[in-house]
Structure 1
Amino acid sequence: MTYSLYRNPPFRAEHIGSFLRPDYLLEARHAWNDKKASGAQLREAENKAINEIVKLQQDYGFRAINDGEYRRHMFWGTFWENLEGMTNIVGPDVKIFRSYVPDVGAFLEKNYKPGETVVCTGKIKHTPAASKDHIDQIRYLQSIMPKKKHGDIKLTIPAPTWYHLRYREGSAYPKNVYRNDEEYFADAVAAYQKELQVLYDHGLRNVQIDDPNMCYFCNENMIENFNNDQLNTCTADELFTKYINVYNNIMAKCPQGMHIGLHLCRGNFVNSRYFTEGPYDRIAKELLQKVNVHTFYLEFDTERAGGVGPLQYLPSNKNVVLGVVSSKYPELENFDTMVARVYEAAKSISKGSGKSEREALEQICVSPQCGFASHSSGNAVGVNDMVAKMMLVRRVADRIWPGEA
């Protein structure tokens, strides 16, 4: 099928970013970690794998092209640890963590101790080192894609809240560095504003921020534990509002013409482990109406995420990418069921906006609910499963929006 090229992001058939690493890439990375292979050998394997995954995306009609996160070990990359004022800590004391934050709780199960983490130890400031890996990833994609398609390149970056929620009150930053969250986030916001400008200056026009933390505010158990924690100086709802303000302050200086998407999911770790559950109902109105990003990438592949009813709060000037296909399990979803879910979402948007359902469809795209390998080791799907899932996303998009990329 020939697809029109006029559309800006998000595209009708989308993906979330990470793809399964081929065995030869995993072997090369393990050899490099064990000092049995050079950086050049690892780079050669990465380049080969990226060339292959870019071709796969193009062959199946995906406009948003990324490198599969093949130069990363985890989905969040190296941005935070390379900011001035942030320090990688090996063997952290588990007492610094909020054990009731879902992903932290999962890692602390059975007395498991985190091997490392990144914490604030001084004033946060953007540095060239923070941008280096992002720029490297962009430049390589630009080198293998026609210049007219450089605007299709999509980069995933970690959330500005990533190293805040997980730490107990008093552990996210030293009190002699920042007196409160407002001071801490003011510098974090400035770092993100700088990063977006740097990426824009290097030709990037499509950014996806990955933020599983925001979904944790759908989890009633976390909310209850957070509000019962006597150390906390605000409620969970007040913290959620702080996080919204962080995003809006970043977006206040977003370069014109740069598309920013926000991806929320409930976790997708090794062996397809998820971390949290709960429908969007609890946060939907504030999230969709107050967070000033252009697009929301939302998970709707299982009952953990609830129904599409909360989409009634989606404003007319924002988009939603429906994660209706699971990247966690090999079973292939039913095509007709997926198509019906998209139309159900359009009905919810129509209900809230007064638009027709056909008009509401203009705000919708489809994707898997998460990446296929948030961790480099992948999850419970195989390569053939991944390809079949991508093909299904493309087929659903072609049925509903024929001829649109």
Structure 2
Amino acid sequence: MSLTLSPPFRAEHLGSLLRTKELLDARDSKSTGRDQEQHVKEVEDKSIKEIVDIQLEAGFHGVTDGEYRRNLFWGTFFDGLDGFEEVPFDREILRTYMPNVGALLQAGYVPGGSLLCTSKIKHSRSTHVDEFNFLKNHLASKNLPINEIKLTIPSPASYHQRYKDGKAYAPGVYDSDQEYFADLAKVFQEELKVLYDAGLRNVQIDDPTLSYFCSKEMLKGWEEDSSNKRTANELFESYITFYNDCFSNVPSDMHIGIHICRGNFTDSRLVSEGGYDKIAVRLFQDLNVNTFYLEYDTERAGGFEPLKHLPKNKNLILGVVSTKTTQLEDVEELKGRVLAAAKVIAEGSDQTVEEALKRLGVSPQCGFASHSHENRLTRDQMVAKLKLVRKVADELWPAES
């Protein structure tokens, strides 16, 4: 896979956008049957067209459907695979010190079931291609090219990291994580091919799981868990190999980005914190993606020093605008942060700041609605944040605006 693409767009958002009350009400309706399903789809279609218009009016490219067909940011990808099914919730097989699991339990949310691998994993259908095709047809009606579209898909490790050693799959299904990873990598390869053949050229992997390796609390929990047969660093390194296998057949003209953040839980609460220092070298140098979308809106993401490890042939979108607060950040302060990051990158890669800036863009630190019923921002405040991102980009890269 070619890693020499420049960032597709200087101002980006990261997939999920606030849903309308009409859409939430339609989803929350207790009505059932075909008529209700059709009603929900019609509201989804209408809402997606509206949110695309909002993105375009705000000066955004790389538009998404706001993830309006999903209740959660990871959608139904794993549910749509052969081999995964919902089983009764069992706290005993979970690493409860993983930030995502811990946040749910601390909030008092105990699900009725958990998705678990119960048989060999196979790709029988894509649950994303219809999302893309609707966007493709809508943009075509506006005479806009399909390379304006960005689609988000979940982390390959979504249903592995949370489970204790050997518990991510039912007994007898796989003999090792390596076998599990190999089949799951084939599934991602097939999904990406389906999307590529449909015309998609810009994919964003949403992956909060990698940031958990930056969390002191998680690492402490890992060390105290006697059931772990390897160190946390060894698991992280196995994920790099696993992910690269997932992306190994991607054509050179398909842009792969990975969004790494620390969570936007319900009501804008954080899930984890910790700088990138512990994972920066392997992450930036060995993970075969074109672009990193990194959270950098608050101190919980640490400083810019780890960015010195970013190679010359990879891009970075700095998530300096917060989706967790209603307050609009100061434009000059945001520009200063981007320039400070560019200076670190330039020094680490023996470039000028101007050369480093060519590999940078700006975005919010996370999506606006990782879960459908979030967050404390209003729709107008969300639009204001999007316009702020665009303004920062226009002032930093005026020749490209």
User: TM-score, normalization: structure 2?
Assistant: 0.95
| Map of 2:336 onto structure 1 | 340
What's the CA shift for 1:143? 1.3
Superposed CA offset, 1:17-65 (max 9, x none): 0000011111111116666961111111111111111011111211101
* Aligned counterpart, 1:138: 132
Residues 66-85 of structure 1 mapped to structure 2, 5 A cutoff = 66-85=64-83
Q: Distance in 2 between matches of 1:403 and 1:65?
A: 21
| Pair 1:96 & 2:69 matched | no
Q: Deviation digits for residues 289-335 of structure 1, max 9, x if unmatched?
A: 11110000000000100111111100001000000000111011111
Call closer, same or farther: CA 1:177–1:305 in 2, change over 3 Å: same
Say which of 317, 322, 326 aligns to 1:321. Answer: 317
The equivalent of 1:4 in structure 2 is: none
> Unmatched 5+ residue regions in structure 1?
1-6
* Equivalenced residues, count: 395
2:116/2:170 contact within 8 Å kept: no
Counterpart selection for 2:163 from 141, 155, 167: 167
Distance in 2 (CA, whole Å) between partners of 1:277 and 1:110 is 17
Between the aligned partners of 1:134 and 1:32, the Cα distance in structure 2 is: 26
Cα pair distance change 1:403/1:259, threshold 3 Å: same
Aligned AA (2:92): K
* 1:55 equivalenced with 2:57 (yes/no): no
- Percent of aligned positions that are identical: 51
Please say if residues 205 and 257 of structure 2, whose CA atoms lie closer than 8 Å, have aligned partners that are also in contact: yes
Distance, in Å, in 1 between the alignment partners of 2:219 and 2:8 is: 32
Question: What's 1:301 paired with?
Answer: 297
SS in 2 for 1:81: coil
Q: How does 1:4-403 map to 2 (within 5 A)?
A: 9-31=7-29, 38-89=36-87, 91-109=88-106, 112-128=109-125, 131=126, 133-146=127-140, 148-403=144-399
* Aligned mates of 1:356, 1:329 — CA distance in 2: 34
Instruction: Tell me the alpha carbon deviations over residues 261-308 of structure 1, each in whole angstroms, 9 at most, x when there is no partner.
Output: 000010102100111000111111111111110000000000100111
Secondary structure at 1:327's aligned position in 2? coil
Check whether the contact 1:9–1:259 (CA below 8 A) recurs between aligned residues.
Answer: no
Q: Is the 8 A contact 1:10 1:365 kept in 2?
A: no
Contact kept? 1:11, 1:365, Cα under 8 Å: yes
Displacement of 1:248 in angstroms is: 1.1
In the alignment, the residues of structure 2 paired with residue 63 and residue 369 of structure 1 have an alpha-carbon distance, to the nearest angstrom, of: 17
Relative to structure 2, which stretch is displaced further, 212-221 or 115-124?
Answer: 115-124
- CA displacement at 1:148 relative to structure 2: 4.8
Q: Is the 8 A contact 2:58 2:383 kept in 1?
A: no
Relative to 1, partners in 2 of residues 1:193 and 1:33: Cα closer, same or farther, differing over 3 Å? farther
1:8 Cα deviation from its structure 2 partner: 6.2
Aligned CA RMSD, in angstroms, stands at 1.5
1:223-282 deviations in Å (ceiling 9; x for gaps): 122122111111100000011011111222112311000000101021001110001111
Structure 2 portions without partners, runs of 5+:
none
- 2:12 and 2:303 map into 1 onto residues whose CA distance is 20
How far apart in 2 are the matches of 1:365 and 1:320? 6
CA contact (8 A) 1:9 1:206 kept: no
Please say if residues 247 and 288 of structure 2, whose CA atoms lie closer than 8 Å, have aligned partners that are also in contact. yes
Q: CA deviation at 1:114?
A: 2.2
Distance in 1 (alpha carbons) for counterparts of 2:359 and 2:204: 17
Give the CA deviation at 1:112.
4.1
Contact 1:312 1:352 survives alignment (8 Å): yes
Q: Counterpart amino acid of 2:139? A: M
**CA distance, structure 1, for counterparts of residue 277 and residue 11 of structure 2:** 25
State the one-letter code of the partner of 1:46: E
Structure 2 CA distance for aligned equivalents of residues 37 and 84 of structure 1: 28
